[in-house]
């Protein structure tokens, strides 16, 4: 068992049950409140060093954890992400420096899948437009479109994608899936069709993106791919800003080619120069948006908090966290 059991938590909404779990397992756990105007994503190396200090465990969200950051924190044994993405962590550096990086696998897939369904219905049924029109008056019925028995294209079939398939089956949707690893048994069990991206673009009424952001997937939805989509198609992105070219999406929505979009992530999250594009998207009546909050329900955060805490305790006890949670183990 590690002598250093100090654990720093820089995420908001960390619940008392998960905090008590850490403390019951011998951790000196503390929730750090950042200064006004600060977020994890804005912290530089000096600020991170000041916040994390000699902690052995760090439960983190969106901070950029570079080689320089890890070298500045020699006591840090485990970086435990309360989430499932890890593109902000230098995995090679963590391995080289003997650190463990984990994610909260399985904690928020149901929560995000629920949000996708909500966005599909909200955009398709034009809830935002109807609400605004009723406020302005006089009341007028706006025709929307069903999710029931429509064709839904899913790009990526990880935990969230599979949770989405479960929900869409209740709508009797024709579900198309593009993934590098098609599974014939899964298709037989669920009725999904594994197809290529060209089929997704051509046939889908709704398209939901659930791929990791890599050089190969950046701007996979762009002017060219949007042009192949059905008129009136609806795009949902709750995965990562950058999978969709926000500028190209804005142009297509403004031109009336697409029916709308549900967006929980934006390129401006990592590129402030894109803020004007984000603002223009938010102003459109057929865009339903959230501030990267797809995993942020009380229940979803409670689950991911506990998984993140369990990973920290396992590492500090000299044990291995659950396989699905381990991104890299450099010990």
- Which residue's entry shows tokens 């950058």? 242
* CATH 3.40.50.720 domain extents, the chain: 6-107+297-329, 109-289
Name the percent of the chain lying above pLDDT 70: 99
Query: How sure is the predictor about 24, in pLDDT bands with cuts at 50, 70 and 90?
Result: very high
pLDDT, tens digit, 9 for 90 and up, residues 234-278? 999 999 999 999 999 999 999 999 999 999 999 999 899 999 999
pLDDT at 1: 56
Contact 299, 111 (CB under 8 A): yes
Query: How would residue 41 be classed by pLDDT, with cut points 50, 70 and 90?
Result: confident
CATH of domain 6-107+297-329: 3.40.50.720
Q: How far from 18 is each of 58, 279, 318, CA to CA, in Å?
A: 14, 36, 20
pLDDT digits (tens, 9 = 90+) for 115-134: 999 999 999 999 999 999 99
pTM: 0.90
pLDDT at 39: 82
Q: What is the pLDDT of residues 192-210, one digit of tens each?
A: 999 999 999 999 999 999 9
- Average pLDDT value for the chain: 95
Assign domain 109-289 to its CATH architecture. Answer: 3-Layer(aba) Sandwich (3.40)
Q: Please, which residues bridge with residue 261 across strands?
A: 235, 287
Active site positions, annotated: 240, 269, 292
């Amino acid at each position: 068992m590690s002598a250093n059991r100090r654990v720093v938590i820089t995420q908001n909404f960390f619940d008392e049950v998960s905090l008590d779990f850490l403390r019951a397992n011998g951790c000196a756990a503390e929730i750090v409140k950042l200064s006004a105007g600060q977020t994890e994503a804005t912290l530089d190396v000096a600020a991170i060093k000041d916040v994390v200090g000699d902690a052995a465990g760090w439960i983190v969200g969106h901070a950029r954890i570079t080689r320089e950051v890890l070298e500045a924190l020699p006591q840090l044994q485990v970086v435990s992400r309360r989430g499932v993405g890890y593109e902000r962590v230098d995995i090679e550096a963590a391995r080289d420096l003997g650190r463990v990086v984990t994610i909260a696998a399985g904690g928020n897939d149901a929560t995000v899948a629920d949000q996708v369904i909500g966005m599909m219905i909200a955009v398709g049924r034009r809830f935002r437009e109807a609400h605004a029109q009723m406020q302005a008056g006089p009341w007028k019925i706006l025709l929307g479109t069903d999710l029931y028995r429509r064709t839904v294209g899913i790009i990526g079939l990880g935990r969230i994608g599979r949770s989405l398939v479960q929900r869409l089956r209740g709508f009797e949707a024709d579900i198309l899936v593009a993934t590098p690893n098609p599974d014939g048994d899964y298709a037989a069990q669920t009725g999904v069709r594994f197809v290529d991206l060209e089929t997704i673009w051509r046939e889908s009424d709704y398209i939901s993106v659930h791929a990791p952001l890599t050089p190969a997937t950046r701007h996979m939805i762009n002017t060219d791919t949007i042009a192949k989509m059905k008129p009136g198609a609806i795009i949902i992105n709750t995965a990562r800003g950058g999978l969709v070219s926000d500028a190209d999406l804005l142009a297509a929505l403004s031109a009336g080619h697409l029916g709308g979009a549900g967006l929980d992530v934006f390129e401006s999250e990592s590129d402030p120069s894109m803020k004007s594009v984000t603002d223009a998207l938010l102003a459109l009546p057929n865009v339903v948006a959230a501030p990267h909050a797809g995993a942020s329900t009380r229940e979803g955060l409670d689950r991911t908090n506990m998984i993140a805490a369990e990973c920290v305790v396992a590492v500090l006890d000299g044990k291995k966290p659950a396989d699905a949670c381990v991104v890299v183990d450099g010990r």
